[in-house]
Amino acid sequence: MSSVYEQLGGEPAINAAVDIFYRKVLADKYVIRFFEGVDMEKQAGKQKAFLTMVTGGPNSYTGKDMREGHRHLVAMGLDDSHFDHILCHLRSTLAELGVAQNLIDTVISVAESTRDDVLDR
């Protein structure tokens, strides 16, 4: 059985998804403040490596763990409502790319599993 990474289309699909995803996120007035001053090229690279790893692709993720990486954002007020906005952008990005619903559900489930760590609770 192939991995979710392979079913999504591998590296080209992950790259396209992250690029579209961050365009959506950066256009969202509700969450944009959490990305002010962030090197978005570096951020996109970390996100691509993370999504590759969690979907069963080659593991080259070397970023901080979810709690450490987002703790400063929680101090800025990051909460469930912001997390929900991000999940909506991820879901709509995957749908826009024509990803099958079962794969979208799998990716969203993986993202949802990070909620407590991202929100440092």
- Residue 86's CB: how many other CB atoms inside 10 A? 19
Q: Is 70 annotated as a binding residue?
A: yes
Q: Which residues are annotated as a binding site for heme?
A: 70
Q: Which residues are annotated as a binding site?
A: 70
